[in-house]
Structure 1
């Protein structure tokens, strides 16, 4: 009998510049995430220079998140269809141009419009950065690359107050946008030269109906979440927005189930691993974003630190994340605990840090808060973004990496927006309930500044500050509970998914004859 020689399929050569590409990708991601938090510290300067009202300020902050969250799924789908390199360059150009417009805005309306434009660029960047990593890296290098991307993402999320505080201490408010311009320019040139083009080889015509329905749905729901604390959850504008958003998302799901080439394949939700990451991720983003929002207020309005002082005092959070990631703690723990155990452990540490800030941050001052910041940083470094991204992207085919990254980004934006709105509403409700009678009424629905201005007497001022501090602490405890619940839920679902995958692998490994004999 003639011997048959079996030739193994050639292994595709890895891109020799893949780590340089990762550096460019991480830089772009860092700038996008810094803009999620950096503007909060510039509120006093914007109020003075542009004569911005409270409503204007809210729209300056929310226009970016609203547009970005609404377009994430669409941006991911378009990058899969037309090319992720093209989408990445387009996002960098849009982000750079709109950052320039924001820096030199002469009115509140101009700044709001510029921030909305930055949201478009941010949506393209958030979906394509992770998708490009999925295409450039493979094998054992892929989790390492996603881990580095996640570390930079966590640093951007936590480092915004520090960067904003330093810039605002030395320059005018427009400087927080100008730092984006060289990054966009250098990043665009580097992407054009280094990053290979990739797209879905089976890509069909765009799902325009799905894109419109998902965008309208996400914008409607997020707008209702953002506007609820200001206008009241039962106001006409909030209810109409929520109903339109939910109806559009329902129509989107029904459409995607029946259209031949869906933008978001609903079969993803049959994957237990995917569902675990989605469910837990929303709750974790809820507690994390909402609590960081409260943390900046705690430092500035309760402990009376300036923006720069507040930013510097949040530095231990960012430094802990960077230090533990550079030490590879998450990578060392993951093989021992598995994805489920690592995520649960990290979220437990994060929840403990938030609870420490809420319980001892006020009575012990900054020394008590420092313990909480270190615990928070440890939890984030252990299990925050890398594991969520691995859990989600590992459940999705590589050719749909853009949509997968859109889902991951949508979870973060949706959960974060919900956390800021709900925990902010808890803060306002608790604050109003504890205010002394002389500054109650309409002042209870306003800000700490308005309540302090209502009665200048020293005793009342102290009661007002105590009421605000109590509201912040209560909200932070709720955020801690959400993070803890999210970690437990995700850990449980991911553990079940791992057991099911292991059982399926064992079944498929049994020879056919053994199965028949059994």
Structure 2
């Protein structure tokens, strides 16, 4: 319930943007920040949130995130102006960051490695279903309840999820008391915020001045500097670093995280040019444009469950590599099909192939990333894995946006084809990362909880 809700809120708002702007007398910049505030505050604290779950217990962090998300959703629903709405969306994002790593970590703690594929398959299916439901649910709710309804429905769902988690989720707590290092948390948060903000919003400022002498380039440099100091502190920390660098000595985790980042880049770069093509070249209205991706994500949800069962019976590298191969085939065939006058039905086979690929990748990658780790690192590993995908999505969206802007003089079809070559390249990198996985399972099939 919690993972579905935070995934849904990443996409459901897009349909309601025109209504929100009119009702709250908001500017276009305000509307950009309604989505950016959520995305930024979701991506930035994931590492710290994952480590927090390791140190105080994932159930406690999950409940805190669910409570915060529910209250923030209620605030969004009653927001009197764009400022309150943006602030509440930021709190939603922070709460989502507390939730996301715990959903994956709890599965790892509750199931032994040889039976973990199926529940991770359900987890991946929920992610696909939330993306499929976003455009349709948003359109239906806005048409019947108004734009405030898209936030209001989270309140009963969040409350029910909180009660169910409090009663049903096992309370796994660490055996020793841990504390988060304040400076490490600030450095990682500031560095990630600066980099993700610059990548997401650079186009808004034409990659130039943001305010006074502060430019997008300086913000990126500041973010990278903070991250460099953060990594140095982790290297020199003999005790309990926020992000133990020994994580990256685990070849399976590193390869799976890199593949997850490439997957995030590809997904972040796929849908913007596709929607521009469907609406700009084929002249379909926004609701039809959003609906064309629904079969893709429905098949993704079905394939994710199958991938989970497959990875329990066989090497999880196989479904992950097959998924990337299908994504390359589906996205590559889209590049070949795009031309003026193409029917939406002609695009459907390619989208379905890509949807099956999305479903096959998610659960096996998550299993590869966590199956060879010691229990005390599962939470932070989940946070790093999720961060790689989120930041990858931000870079993917920015990269394809830059390609589209550079191709302004060309026709829409040529610009879209050029932009879609970037996701294809990222998917090939993800496929290559699957070849680096060792496939060794040092847990011996034992539960890690």
**Structure 2 length-normalised TM:** 0.91
**Distance apart, 1:234 and its partner CA:** 4.7
Question: Within 1, Cα distance between the matches of 2:312 and 2:54?
Answer: 30
Q: Distance in 2 between matches of 1:193 and 1:258?
A: 41
For residue 433 of structure 1, give the secondary structure of its aligned residue in structure 2: coil
Q: Post-superposition shift, 1:480?
A: 2.1
What's the offset of the Cα at 1:382?
Answer: 1.6
Superposed counterparts of 1:109-128, under 5 Å = 109-128=83-102
Determine the structure 2 residue equivalent to 1:255.
233
Q: Does 1:492 find its partner at 2:438? A: no
Matched, 1:308 2:287: yes
Q: 5+ residue gaps in structure 1?
A: 1-26, 435-466, 506-518
- Asked whether the equivalents of residues 338 and 413 of structure 2 are also in contact (C-alpha less than 8 Å), the reply is no
Inter-partner Cα distance in structure 2 for 1:37 and 1:163 = 10
Is 2:132–2:295's contact at 8 Å kept on the other side of the alignment? Answer: no
Deviation at 1:361, TM superposition (A): 4.1
Residue in 1 aligned with 2:57? Answer: 83
CA gap 1:355/1:200 in 2 versus in 1, 3 angstroms: same
1:154 alignment counterpart = 128
Residue 171 of structure 1 is matched in structure 2 by: 145
How much does 1:195 deviate? 1.4
Q: Does the alignment pair 1:298 with 2:277?
A: yes
Paired residues of 2:124 and 2:304 also in contact (CA < 8 A):
no
Q: How far is the alpha carbon of 1:329 from its aligned partner?
A: 5.2
Shift of 1:191: 1.0
**Superposition pairs of residues 166-315 of structure 1, within 5 angstroms:** 166-235=140-209, 236-259=214-237, 260-315=239-294
Q: Which runs of 5+ in 2 are unaligned?
A: 444-449
Does the aligned pair in 2 maintain the 1:165–1:311 contact within 8 Å? no
Q: What is the 5 A alignment of 1:471-486? A: 471-486=415-430
TM-score in terms of structure 1 length: 0.79
Q: Which one scores higher on RCO, CA 8 angstroms, separation ≥ 6?
A: 2
Q: 1:426, 1:475 within 8 Å by CA — same for their partners in 2?
A: yes
Closer, same or farther: CA 67–158 of 1 in aligned 2, 3 Å: same
Give deviations 1:412-454, integer Å, cap 9, x for gaps: 1100111111111211221x223xxxxxxxxxxxxxxxxxxxx
Deviation >6 Å, runs of 4+: none
Q: CA deviation at 1:48?
A: 2.1
Query: Which residue of the partner structure matches residue 420 of structure 1?
Result: 397
Pair 63,398 (structure 1): closer, same or farther in 2 beyond 3 Å: same
Instruction: Indicate how the Cα distance of structure 1 residues 106 and 472 shifts in structure 2: closer, same or farther if over 3 A, else same.
Output: farther
Count of aligned positions:
437
- Counterpart of 2:409 in structure 1 is 433
- Is the radius of gyration larger for structure 1 or structure 2? 1
Q: Which residue number corresponds to residue 406 of structure 1?
A: 383
In structure 1, C-alpha distance between the alignment counterparts of 2:419 and 2:215, rounded to whole Å = 25
Distance 1:356 1:350 in 2: 10
Q: What residue number does 2:350 align with? A: 372
Instruction: Quote the RMSD (CA, aligned, Å).
Output: 2.2
Match of 1:393 among 348, 370, 378: 370
Q: 2:124 touches 2:301 (CA, 8 Å); kept in 1?
A: no
Query: In the alignment, which residue of structure 2 is the partner of 1:358?
Result: 335
Q: Mark the CA change 1:365 to 1:309 in structure 2 (over 3 Å): closer, same or farther.
A: same
